[in-house]
Amino acid sequence: MTSLEPPLPVPDADSLDAAASALVDGVATPEEAALVAASPGGAARLAALRAVSEAVGGPGLEQDPSAAASALAAALAGFDPAAFDPAAVDAIERRNPSSSAVGEAQGPEGPAPGEPSVPDLSSDREIPGPSDPTSGEDVGSGPVLTAREGLGTVRALVPRRGSSSSARWLPRLGAVAAALVLLVGIAVLVVDLLGRADDTGRSPAGDVAVGPTSAAPAGPGGTTAQTAMAGGKVLELPPVIDGGAFGNETAVEAIALRAAAALDNPPAPAAAEIKPLDDVQRCVEAGPNTVDEEVRAPLYQAEGTFQGIPAVAVAYEREGDPSRLLLVLALNDCSLLERSPF
């Protein structure tokens, strides 16, 4: 996170201030309360920090009503009821039975909002879909990409809301069978393509609807081959360079420089390995949906902390000059933190 203002030297952790601050928040331990009480300046420090808390949280912040109304109208204009995935709604309603005020029959009561929820029916995790900058889950009403922990990816049909248990699973079984057939077909095509591939290792990725889900992450510094379907053919896309960890950065330009260096001097390709979908790859897939412009294949990925937020940096091919776009995405929800063409 950055700002224009000169940085204020933040004092190192001070035990008295830490204890007083905890008291302000009502979370102090007995030892901390005793420390404040016993310290000569404890009461004054407590009062000072309490005054800060009250000042920051004080009244006086009100938005101009016309600006508020226009913001609300702009947001509501994007409301699309059809975007809600009935299966996701089902799952949420099972976790939060309170939503039965509008929903249908509910399942067993789930954890309270805010508590970690237990995956229901399976350990499926949804893969980020379009127009979803914050949570990385598919928002479409059609088939949903699901990743079963440890088993790679399969494409499954979404059961409709209110359907019976068998009705829910039959389409999934059919989809799994179809996926298996598809995988066999892809394997045959890959073998065929590899036999005919030239030495350049690059294909016209610009004509391809990029499917980075097929990219298998390699170790830091390695590259991983990825493939995509285009016109019924499996095309080889530029390998994704795994930049490993980029540490704790505050400037996107520094990460872009690192990506450029890695892309200009790519390491030797590493042996592809099958790895379950992880948060990094989830963000690699979600990245294109966080920006307005169209990007192509992912070229580079790295993980680190950006302005204090655990983040994933992904470089994609793009139209125009410069020809690459670096996106820094929050690791927890793949929301866009920063972008930088390079």
Partner 1 sequence: MSVAGEQRSADPDEVSLAAARAGDRRALDDLLRRHQPRLWAVCRRLTGSDSDADDAAQNALIAIVRALPSFDGRSRFGTWAYRIAVNASLDELRRRRRRADPGLPGDADLSGPGAGPEPIATTVGPESAALTVDVDAALRRLPPDFRAAVVLRDLCGLDYAEIAEILGVPTGTVRSRISRGRSALAPLLSAGNSEDARRRPTSRP
Residues 123-182 that bind partner 1 (CB under 8 A): 126, 129, 131-139
Q: What sign for the dihedral angle of Cα 274, 278, 281, 282? A: positive
Interface residues for partner 1 in 320-339 (CB under 8 A)?
A: 330-333, 335-338
Give the burial class of 8: count Cβ atoms within 10 A of its Cβ; 0-12 exposed, 13-18 middle, 19 or more buried.
exposed
CA dist list (Å): 27 to 3, 17, 24, 32: 31, 13, 8, 9
Closest contact distance (angstroms) between CB of 262 and partner 1 is: 24
The residue within the footprint of partner 1, chosen from 30, 40, 60, 195 (CB under 8 A), is 60
Going residue by residue from 253 to 292, which x/- string records binding to partner 1, judged by CB under 8 A? Answer: ----------------------------------------
Closest contact distance (angstroms) between CB of 130 and partner 1 is: 10
Q: Helix, strand, or coil here: 295?
A: strand
Closest CA to 257 of 289, 300, 286, 297: 300
Paired tokens of 114: 């805010």
DSSP assignment of 89-137 equals HHHHHHH-GGGGGTS-S--S--PPTTSPPPP-SS--EEPP-TT-TTT--
- Placement of tokens 């005919």 in the chain: 196
- 86 vs 267 by CB, closer to partner 1: 86
The residue within the footprint of partner 1, chosen from 29, 99, 122, 323 (CB under 8 A), is 99
Going residue by residue from 229 to 258, which x/- string records binding to partner 1, judged by CB under 8 A? Answer: ------------------------------
Interface residues for partner 1 in 181-210 (CB under 8 A)?
A: none
Closest contact distance (angstroms) between CB of 149 and partner 1 is: 16
The residue within the footprint of partner 1, chosen from 108, 232, 308, 320 (CB under 8 A), is 308
Q: Is the CB of residue 313 less than 8 Å from the CB of residue 304?
A: yes
Q: What are the φ/ψ torsions at residue 339 (nearest 5 degrees)?
A: -135, 150
Q: How many residues bind partner 1 (CB under 8 A)?
A: 98
Closest contact distance (angstroms) between CB of 64 and partner 1 is: 7
- 43 vs 197 by CB, closer to partner 1: 43
User: What is the Cα–Cα distance from 292 to 120, expressed in whole angstroms?
Assistant: 34
The residue within the footprint of partner 1, chosen from 12, 198, 199, 264 (CB under 8 A), is 12
Closest contact distance (angstroms) between CB of 137 and partner 1 is: 4
Closest contact distance (angstroms) between CB of 268 and partner 1 is: 34
Interface residues for partner 1 in 67-96 (CB under 8 A)?
A: 67-68, 70-72, 74-76, 78-79, 81, 83-85, 88-89, 91-93, 95-96
User: What is the Cα–Cα distance from 131 to 127, expressed in whole angstroms?
Assistant: 12
